[in-house]
């Protein structure tokens, strides 16, 4: 079901701004040092207006990444300006003694999306869509959804 109402969705489904990033740290000592600021930064982030949800992931051997969701882009950028985040970013980008690489991507959710089942704001029953969302090369509606 296409929708613009995500009021019944979990916190990350209600967000309209998403942060994706990762940092490859120099080694175990860098990751240990990171934790001194990181826990304070997360505590502050969770208290900020507009925070919705986050998850940290690990990639072997020394890469830590984050997915974070906020009400809107302004809330995400307010967090980026926070004291502990600035301190951490200065530490990470101080040459290559703490980290050897990283990236950040910011995404905005389109107003419309899809919902079904328990997270459906329009009612209880699940529903199929009749047409696919059009690609940028298609005019009007997308092609019909063919069911087996």
Look up the domain containing 86 and give its range: 11-108
Rama region for 78: left / alpha / beta (φ>0; ψ in -120 to 50; rest): alpha
Whether the full predicted model's pTM is greater than 0.75, yes or no, is yes
C-alpha–C-alpha distance, residues 99 and 102, integer Å: 8
- Asked if residue 59 is part of any domain, the answer here is yes
Q: Are 144 and 129 in contact (CB under 8 A)?
A: no
Residue 147 domain flag: no
Please count the structural domains in the chain: 1
Q: For every one of its 148 residues, what pLDDT tens digit does the chain have, with 9 covering 90 and above? A: 788 889 989 999 999 999 999 999 999 999 999 998 899 999 999 999 999 999 999 999 999 999 999 999 999 999 999 999 999 999 999 888 999 999 999 999 998 888 877 777 777 667 778 888 889 999 988 898 888 7
Helix locations, the chain, DSSP H: 11-14, 28-47, 73-80, 83-92
Angle, helix 28-47 to helix 83-92, in steps of 10 degrees: 160
- Is position 17 within any domain? yes
Does residue 75 lie within any of the structural domains?
yes
CATH of the domain at 59: 3.30.70.100
């Amino acid at each position: 079901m296409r929708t613009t109402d995500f009021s019944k969705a979990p916190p990350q489904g209600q967000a309209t701004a998403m942060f994706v990033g990762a940092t490859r740290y120099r080694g175990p000592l860098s990751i240990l040092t990171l934790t001194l600021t990181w826990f304070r930064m997360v505590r502050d982030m969770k208290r900020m207006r507009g925070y919705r949800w986050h998850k940290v992931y690990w990639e072997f051997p020394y890469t830590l990444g984050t997915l974070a969701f906020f009400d809107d882009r302004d809330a995400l950028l307010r967090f980026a300006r926070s004291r502990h985040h600035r301190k951490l970013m200065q530490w990470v980008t101080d040459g290559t003694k703490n980290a050897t690489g990283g990236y950040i991507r910011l995404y905005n959710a389109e107003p419309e999306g899809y919902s079904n089942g328990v997270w459906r704001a329009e009612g209880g029953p699940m529903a199929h869509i009749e047409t696919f969302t059009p690609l940028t090369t298609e005019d009007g509606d997308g092609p019909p959804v063919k069911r087996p």
